[in-house]
Structure 1
């Protein structure tokens, strides 16, 4: 059980089953749910189901209350099983504009970095959610990029901004500035087993799972880099068609680290090496591997 946190004006208590009654008063409000995954709740039972799911899940959730006591006004949480530790926050509309969310987020960041040993935390915020963006930037998160998402209740997709902060930035106060937002290209690899391919990329190549869809998975996303919206991204999609031993497609990963060091780690992990590190005439030092399904990946950086 995680600890109760206290700030000057707030008490943050671990989520409990009976918090559903308080939270329903916020979840039934359409303006509060505009940027959430689901629409406004129509019954307390719907909110209770959500709370039960949060309690059964791998995340860590605190309800937000005033120091004087009273009902739960919202929550701040760490999302479990995410490649980069993710944070979410939610507050009853009647209490917007009081600075409660940023105050609670600061307390949860302190706890996450100091007690949970997190090295970074990430937020995904709808671009239109200006209030949430203001909270992120006020606390000190830096914008890292953007990506496209669509909630099931929406007719069209929307842009989500990725904000992130590292433990070092939080502790040293180096919080200013945002990275330039950019779209990313993510090739889709057809694979006979999405779960096995994702495990190979994570265990052998150092990638992180962004998501797996289905049980067993039929689609998934993996990435190599510090933040979800940066670095090398690959999507994995289930196919029942046989793959050639060496599929006629390859991928180039521009690296931000030492080529030879990565090569040695892959070699020690038993990765199939297609070509050892070589200084190429076009000014890059590169090596190549083949993954568990025969796809070619070349890694390089300026020599």
Structure 2
């Protein structure tokens, strides 16, 4: 059974994740992935959160306070997919991540379900992918 009538008029989806080292995560999302820092939030003169953005994609990075433990596994069963305009964008993103010392979980490849994509983990272990539909 498929329910096609949505009860909410959503315009986009953002997410908020916690980071062990916020400054390092900001650099990773900016330099390795290619996001821009859209906004930062300070508390007592120290940056405690940042919004990184690329197009309509926004991710809030928050400084973890450690109350739940520093060694806990973050984002297990959670996956963020960044959709880009074309295959060249997928390949360029993968190259940028590797050039800044990042490691890919999978190399860019055309997948049987009709997308070119790759996957990687951020500095805190959150799993992300960069994808674009293949043009038939």
TM over 0.5: yes
What is the CA RMSD across the aligned residues, in angstroms?
Answer: 1.9
Check the 8 A contact 2:39/2:50 in 1, yes or no: yes
Measure, in 1, the Cα distance between the counterparts of 2:52 and 2:96.
19
Pair 196,224 (structure 1): closer, same or farther in 2 beyond 3 Å: same
* TM-score calculated relative to the size of structure 2: 0.75
> Which residue matches 1:238?
63
Measure, in 1, the Cα distance between the counterparts of 2:21 and 2:46.
9
> Which residue matches 1:189?
17
Measure, in 2, the Cα distance between the counterparts of 1:246 and 1:270.
21
Q: Secondary structure at the match of 1:217?
A: strand
What's the CA shift for 1:246? Answer: 5.8
Higher CA-based Rg: 1
- Which one has a larger percent strand, Structure 1 or Structure 2? 2
- Which one has a larger percent helix, Structure 1 or Structure 2? 1
Aligned residues: 117
Q: Which runs of 5+ in 2 are unaligned?
A: 1-9
Check the 8 A contact 1:195/1:216 in 2, yes or no: no
* TM-score calculated relative to the size of structure 1: 0.36
Q: Which runs of 5+ in 1 are unaligned?
A: 1-181
Measure, in 1, the Cα distance between the counterparts of 2:128 and 2:39.
21
Check the 8 A contact 2:83/2:130 in 1, yes or no: yes
